[in-house]
Structure 1
Amino acid sequence: MSLDNLDIKILQLIQENAQLTIKEISQKINLSMTPTHDRIKRLEHEGIIEKYVTILNRKLLGNPLLVYCSITLDKQQKNHFVEFEEAIKQFPEVIECSIVSGNYDYLIKVIAKDMEAYNDFYQKKLSSLQSVAHISSSFVMSEVKNTTVIPLY
């Protein structure tokens, strides 16, 4: 995989606005529409462009509370990891989940409408998982930076 300057410009543009048309992109990078379209299709085919999404405002949609939870499993066994991961995938409140190194096993990002809703999620879903030994919650007071843009050099 080798990206040239035009590929990088295309990727920067569509990260900022995925609704740009081929015509608009081609005008911005000074390339005709057919080669611009071909480049985008190649980037999609190579998996560099995974998908196009719409980013919604969680606060305006009634989920202003953002919580990061550090999760430690009771045993470092494959079946515990599998059980936890399968359960987490079913919880719509969890918008991100990563296996991490360090003092805990997972870091999850949770959204909720308020503290009561988070507490309900915590007690009825998260802490009820058999494989979970410890949960530490950190409540976001203010977001300093929140972006989906990947830097391209």
Structure 2
Amino acid sequence: MSKIDDIDKQILAFLHEDAYMSNKDMAQRLGMSPTPIHERIKRMEKDGVITGYKATINPNKLGKSLTVFCDISLKEHAAEYLKQFEEDVMNLSEVQECYCVSGHSDFLLKIVVADMDEYRDFILHKLASIKNIGNAQSHFVMNQIRNESILPWLNQEKTR
């Protein structure tokens, strides 16, 4: 694992907030020159700490206003069944995130659709076509309280 120091954490926080922030702007905020900032970013990319840069998109602005978390329990738990489910769910564009979880279910899906009609169609014609699903339980998002990626904890570590 790559050694990440406080400066790296600040760079990650800057990039998380604004992936377009220039090395020069980060360097000014950190009291450094741009070259070491660039070298640190390239090292973190090479080490897999930074895995890519993405635009954050508001699904509501694209007519996708219903978010559903769906617990999936499988009938059979042999490795080939788990792998097959993962492959099948990757082909469903409505599924934004998929996690293999412990507890009462096997997988947790984050599904984003336009409305209840589209979700019903998704359940009846797409999800139901995947073999080996024993149970699916839906949780409808009524209000998003916080939608923050994994980074906020980086800033908290400095205060511990």
Q: Contact (CA 8 Å) 1:83, 1:131: kept in 2 or not?
A: no
Counterpart CA distance in 2 for 1:92 and 1:42 is: 33
Give TM-score scaled by structure 2 length. Answer: 0.92
Q: Contact (CA 8 Å) 1:66, 1:110: kept in 2 or not?
A: yes
Instruction: Name the residue aligned to 2:133.
Output: 132
| Secondary structure of 1:127's aligned partner | helix
Q: Contact (CA 8 Å) 1:16, 1:149: kept in 2 or not?
A: no
Which amino acid in 2 is paired with 1:98? Y
The residue correspondences of 1:1-153 to structure 2 (distance < 5 A) are 1-150=2-151, 151-152=153-154, 153=157
For structure 2, the residue ranges without an aligned partner over 5 or more in a row are none
Give TM-score scaled by structure 1 length. Answer: 0.96
Q: CA deviation at 1:28?
A: 1.3
State which drifts further: 16-25 or 104-113: 16-25
State which drifts further: 137-146 or 76-85: 76-85
Q: Which has more helix, going by share of residues?
A: 2
- Amino-acid identity (%): 36
For structure 1, the residue ranges without an aligned partner over 5 or more in a row are none
Q: CA deviation at 1:149?
A: 4.2
- Cα deviation digits, residues 96-152 of structure 1 (max 9, x gap): 001111111100000000000000000001112111111000100001110114121
Q: CA deviation at 1:6?
A: 1.3
Alpha-carbon RMSD across the aligned residues, in angstroms, is 1.0
Runs of 4+ with >4 A deviation: none
Alignment length, in residue pairs?
Answer: 153
- Cα deviation digits, residues 17-68 of structure 1 (max 9, x gap): 1110111111111110111111111111111111111110001011110000
